[in-house]
């Protein structure tokens, strides 16, 4: 008994969890059964420390076709008989240890979640966070992650259409790699992750099973330490060409009508797929592990069960129609082996060469069933006292704005990410609408309906660190603002919640506050949560927890393509207006944090009602064809917004800042709910009528120039003086 308890602890199980396992089984578990519970009750699979709060998020909408948690991904009605499946997930720990395969298999896994439902992936996005760029290890991680994402996505044949990259010292040991996939499916042609019907055959399809990724879910549910490199076998190895075959075969086999249920084998492999499908269908399974095609000889039962080898699916077919399934996978030259059958009763039974290796109730393993649910202690962090002590009067105003303009133009958080994006194929599939027309959100053409999806990923980790509730609400609002500025209507979100150790009360407070802020913003903006991913334990013994990063992936819809809106200036002489509050709020800005080194300052002020009204105004202006461009003011403030809009067409700008505000704060501060628009002179009257009617604040800044930059009448050179700083700085560091 003592030996088994020690083994349970080594596998990550708590003493009370070991006791619960004994109660479920009515006996002492064997090693294989302990391993099963260890992976299925890990945070990565069970959400045991987060589900209590996740359940408070809004999930209802008339467009919802599948609620959060019902299927592998969210499913939203986009009209014309079509649904959009989308989801974002993390692959943080594997990417810290083996960046290339860690990132590549993250891309593969999230795409499988989409096409397992019967949806064809048409677009990918990502959200990446890295540490100190001066360290060679950070540069090694970046190169590996970017190449892994690019190689897998490019070979798989789905364009990478957008994303974000953020740098901060807190991510030096533990980077964040979040991947999002988006797919399209016709109504009524989805398939569920379910097992039912006594005697129905169970197939494993796709790649061979190897020893890669064993206990990967457990590995992802612990802090990174000096010994984490020894967990390299817990990192999977991907094959995008195999995944492409699996995609086509999976979509084809669904059309045969022979499939009862299907689920990909991601975290925890065979045991996860069999338990979740069985629990959902209130059935059991008999599985013969010796029938599983393996890459290595003499694999043990528990190794086969827990392997996270990539590019594999579990299919439950209709008895008597096995030949339809076999024919499809034979056509695509993929493994398709019947390894078991559905049974009556609650138990999963796993056999190896006729010997019963494990027998466990399926429902006892899964979220919503027997998996434990905890509410951890939480309290406000001590660092909030430092934030409360901040005073803008202590921040010295620069005598000359030019050095700050150059600093921000070239800062890796604000500069062009061209070095990264050029490694991704963004044009394959001919659906990316942003190749020559940049917009705040990524626009993806839906060939079946003639509409466009508007997609964005957003989170400012500094804001969330300063105020998790407000910072997360801002992340939701900015994702929506990007979609609105592109001509779209926000519909729903998915999320990837990246935090430190949940047993740390200060970290758990960040998590709880973030969930509450997300819920408030999603309810206000009518963008329900379709699902997502929780990634705890993003910290190390060296650096402590990372900045809390609840990344928001948002889906929007552009119903009329003539109403899309670019972010770039269109011609000299157009008038520039700032919509939204006029403010000198510098809190948590890149200017304050980086240029002045003020690491503790408040999150920018934010009002949800103001945000809603600004988005309504921008939508009305776009629909009325009053605008030439629209670009939201976010990271880097007004200066970075103008710079990005000007650089595309080599235009400049001549603006006048309000005398009542500090020039540096107004230009570089990151006050929220603001949008810069350009207006053709002949449209100014109609624009002003709409703006005045809204009752919202707005300010005429100036006009677009042929290329000169003037602020308060002073020349700051040409836009070309900033081009190299903005476009080449990250490449110069990394290459």
Q: How do residues 483-509 score in pLDDT, each as one tens digit?
A: 999 999 999 999 999 999 999 999 999
CB-based burial, 180-197: b 16+ in 10 Å, e otherwise:
bbbbbbeeeebbbbbbbb
Give the C-alpha separation, 30 to 44, whole Å.
23
Q: What is the mean pLDDT of residues 44-51?
A: 93
Asked whether the whole model's pTM tops 0.85, one would answer: yes
Query: Is residue 44 annotated as a catalytic residue, yes or no?
Result: yes
Do residues 702 and 391 touch, judged by C-beta distance below 8 A?
A: no
Give yes or no for residue 224 having a pLDDT over 90. Answer: no
Quote the pLDDT of residue 211: 87
Q: Which of 44, 93, 215, 631 is catalytic?
A: 44
Quote the pLDDT of residue 213: 66
CB-based burial, 656-681: b 16+ in 10 Å, e otherwise:
ebeeeebbbbbbbbbbbbbbbbbbbe
Do residues 321 and 184 touch, judged by C-beta distance below 8 A?
A: no
Quote the pLDDT of residue 233: 54
Quote the pLDDT of residue 348: 98
How buried is residue 298: exposed, middle or buried, by Cβ count under 10 Å (0-12/13-18/19+)? exposed
Give yes or no for residue 220 having a pLDDT over 50. Answer: no
The C-alpha angle with vertex 647 and arms to 646 and 649, in degrees rounded to 5, equals 80
Give yes or no for residue 229 having a pLDDT over 80. Answer: no
User: How many C-beta neighbours within 10 Å does residue 724 have?
Assistant: 12
Tokens 């508007």 map to which residue?
454
Give yes or no for residue 216 having a pLDDT over 70. Answer: no
Give the C-alpha separation, 376 to 504, whole Å.
9
Handedness of CA 655, 661, 667, 671 (dihedral sign): negative
Q: What is the mean pLDDT of residues 652-676?
A: 97
Quote the pLDDT of residue 147: 97
357 φ/ψ angles, rounded to the nearest 5 degrees: -95, -30
Give yes or no for residue 722 having a pLDDT over 60. Answer: yes
Q: Which of 91, 288, 411, 626 is catalytic?
A: 91
Quote the pLDDT of residue 432: 82
| Count of residues making up the chain | 735
Helix and strand element counts for the chain (H, E): 25, 27
Do residues 82 and 185 touch, judged by C-beta distance below 8 A?
A: yes
The share of the chain scoring above pLDDT 70, in percent, equals: 96
Structure tokens of 315? 């299919």
Q: What is the mean pLDDT of residues 513-537?
A: 97
Give the C-alpha separation, 670 to 601, whole Å.
12
Q: What is the mean pLDDT of residues 139-155?
A: 96
> Residue 12: left if φ>0, alpha if ψ -120 to 50, beta else—which one?
left
Mean pLDDT, the chain, rounded, equals: 94
Query: Is residue 288 annotated as a catalytic residue, yes or no?
Result: no
Give the C-alpha separation, 364 to 360, whole Å.
8
Give yes or no for residue 67 having a pLDDT over 90. Answer: no
Quote the pLDDT of residue 425: 87
Give the C-alpha separation, 624 to 684, whole Å.
12
Runs of H (alpha helix) within 579-719: 590, 608-623, 637-647, 663-668, 684-694
Q: What is the mean pLDDT of residues 22-34?
A: 94
Quote the pLDDT of residue 221: 44
- The 10s digit of each residue's pLDDT in 430-487 is 778 887 789 999 999 999 999 999 999 999 999 999 999 999 999 999 999 999 999 9
Structure tokens of 230? 């020894």
The C-alpha angle with vertex 488 and arms to 485 and 492, in degrees rounded to 5, equals 110
Do residues 295 and 212 touch, judged by C-beta distance below 8 A?
A: no
The share of the chain scoring above pLDDT 90, in percent, equals: 88
Quote the pLDDT of residue 652: 98
Quote the pLDDT of residue 219: 44
- The 10s digit of each residue's pLDDT in 311-351 is 999 999 999 999 999 999 999 999 999 999 999 999 999 99
User: How many C-beta neighbours within 10 Å does residue 232 have?
Assistant: 13
Quote the pLDDT of residue 668: 98
**Sequential DSSP letters for 31-96:** HHHHHHHHHHTSHHHH-TTTHHHHTTS----TTEEE-TTTSSSEEEEEETTEEEEEEEEE-HHHHH
Quote the pLDDT of residue 118: 95
Give yes or no for residue 519 having a pLDDT over 50. Answer: yes
Do residues 533 and 68 touch, judged by C-beta distance below 8 A?
A: no
Structure tokens of 442? 């990524």
- Give Cβ neighbours of residue 504 (< 8 Å, ≥ 6 apart): 545
Do residues 618 and 610 touch, judged by C-beta distance below 8 A?
A: no
Runs of H (alpha helix) within 546-676: 590, 608-623, 637-647, 663-668
Give yes or no for residue 68 having a pLDDT over 80. Answer: no
In the DSSP assignment, the letter for residue 141 is H
Q: Please tell me the number of Cα atoms within 13 Å of 708 on its side-chain side.
A: 12
Quote the pLDDT of residue 232: 42
More confident residue, 70 or 209: 209
Quote the pLDDT of residue 1: 58
Structure tokens of 222? 């612990």
Structure tokens of 196? 């039912």
Do residues 429 and 530 touch, judged by C-beta distance below 8 A?
A: no
Q: What is the mean pLDDT of residues 15-34?
A: 94
220 φ/ψ angles, rounded to the nearest 5 degrees: -75, -5
Q: At what angle do helices 608-623 and 468-485 cross, to 10 degrees?
A: 10
Do residues 641 and 677 touch, judged by C-beta distance below 8 A?
A: no
Distances (CA, A) of 427 to 162, 195, 442: 12, 38, 12
Structure tokens of 375? 């509410």
Runs of H (alpha helix) within 490-578: 505-525
Give the C-alpha separation, 512 to 514, whole Å.
5
- The 10s digit of each residue's pLDDT in 173-197 is 999 999 999 999 999 899 999 999 9
Give the C-alpha separation, 156 to 124, whole Å.
11
* pLDDT-derived band at 217, boundaries 50, 70, 90: very low
């Amino acid at each position: 008994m003592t030996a088994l308890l020690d083994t349970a602890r080594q596998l990550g199980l708590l003493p009370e969890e070991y006791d619960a396992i004994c109660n479920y089984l009515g006996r002492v578990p064997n090693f294989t059964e302990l391993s099963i519970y260890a992976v299925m009750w890990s945070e990565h699979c069970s959400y045991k420390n987060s589900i209590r709060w996740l359940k408070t998020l809004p999930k209802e909408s008339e467009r919802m076709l599948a609620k959060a948690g019902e299927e592998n991904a969210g499913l939203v009605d986009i009209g014309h008989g079509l649904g959009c499946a989308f989801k974002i997930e993390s692959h943080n720990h594997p990417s810290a240890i083996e960046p290339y395969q860690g990132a590549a298999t993250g891309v593969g896994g999230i795409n499988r979640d989409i096409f397992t439902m019967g949806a064809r992936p048409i677009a990918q996005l990502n959200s990446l966070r890295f540490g100190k760029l001066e360290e060679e290890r950070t540069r090694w991680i970046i190169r590996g992650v970017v190449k892994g994402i690019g190689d897998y996505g490019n070979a798989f044949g789905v364009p990478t259409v957008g994303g974000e990259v953020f740098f901060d010292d807190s991510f030096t040991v533990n980077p964040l790699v979040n991947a999002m996939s988006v797919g399209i499916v016709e109504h009524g042609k989805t398939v569920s992750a379910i097992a039912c019907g006594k005697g129905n055959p169970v197939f494993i399809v796709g790649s061979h099973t190897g020893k890669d990724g064993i206990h990967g879910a457990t590995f992802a549910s612990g802090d990174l330490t000096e010994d984490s490199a020894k967990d390299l076998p817990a990192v999977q190895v991907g094959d995008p060409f195999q995944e492409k075959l699996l995609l086509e075969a999976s979509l084809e086999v669904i059309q045969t009508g022979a499939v009862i249920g299907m689920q990909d084998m991601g975290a925890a492999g065979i045991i996860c797929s069999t338990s979740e499908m069985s629990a959902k269908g209130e059935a059991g399974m008999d599985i013969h592990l010796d029938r599983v095609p393996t890459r290595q000889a003499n694999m043990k039962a528990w190794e086969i069960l827990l392997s996270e080898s990539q590019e594999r699916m579990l299919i439950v077919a209709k008895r008597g129609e096995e030949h339809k399934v076999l024919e499809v996978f034979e056509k695509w030259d993929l493994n398709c082996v019947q390894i078991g059958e559905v049974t009556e009763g609650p138990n999963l039974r796993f056999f190896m060469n006729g010997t019963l290796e494990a027998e466990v109730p399926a429902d006892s393993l899964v979220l919503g069933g027997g998996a434990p649910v905890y509410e951890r202690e939480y309290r406000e962090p001590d660092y909030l006292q430092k934030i409360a002590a901040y005073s803008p009067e202590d921040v010295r105003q620069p005598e000359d704005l030019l050095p700050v303009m150059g600093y921000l133009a070239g800062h890796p958080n604000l500069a062009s990410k061209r070095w990264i994006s050029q490694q991704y194929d963004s044009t394959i599939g001919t659906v990316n609408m942003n190749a020559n027309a940049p917009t705040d959100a990524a626009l993806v053409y839906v060939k079946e309906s003639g509409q466009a999806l508007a997609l964005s990923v957003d989170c400012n980790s500094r804001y969330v660190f300063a105020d998790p509730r407000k910072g997360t609400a801002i992340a939701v609002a900015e994702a929506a603002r990007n979609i609105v500025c592109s001509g779209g209507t926000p519909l729903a979100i998915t999320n990837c919640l990246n935090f430190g150790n949940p047993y740390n009360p200060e970290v758990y407070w960040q998590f709880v506050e973030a969930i509450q802020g997300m819920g408030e913003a999603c309810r206000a903006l009518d963008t329900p949560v379709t699902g997502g991913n929780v990634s705890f334990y993003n910290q190390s013994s060296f650096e402590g927890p990372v900045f809390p990063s609840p990344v928001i992936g948002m889906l929007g819809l552009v119903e009329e393509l003539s109403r899309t809106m670019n972010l770039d200036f269109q011609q000299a002489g157009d008038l520039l207006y700032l919509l939204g509050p006029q403010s000198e709020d510098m809190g948590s800005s890149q200017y304050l944090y980086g240029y002045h080194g003020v690491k503790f300052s408040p999150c920018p002020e934010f009002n949800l009602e103001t945000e809603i009204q600004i988005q309504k105004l921008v939508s009305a202006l776009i629909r009325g064809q009053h605008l030439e461009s629209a670009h939201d003011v976010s990271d880097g403030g007004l200066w970075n917004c103008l710079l990005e809009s000007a650089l595309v067409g080599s235009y400049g700008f001549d603006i006048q800042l309000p005398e009542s505000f500090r020039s540096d704060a107004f230009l570089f501060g990151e006050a929220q709910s603001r949008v810069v628009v350009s207006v053709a002179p002949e449209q100014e009257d109609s624009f002003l009528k709409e703006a005045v009617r809204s009752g919202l604040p707005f300010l005429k800044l100036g006009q677009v120039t042929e290329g000169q930059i003037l602020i308060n009448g002073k020349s700051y050179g040409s836009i070309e003086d900033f081009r190299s700083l903005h476009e080449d700085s990250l490449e110069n560091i990394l290459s």
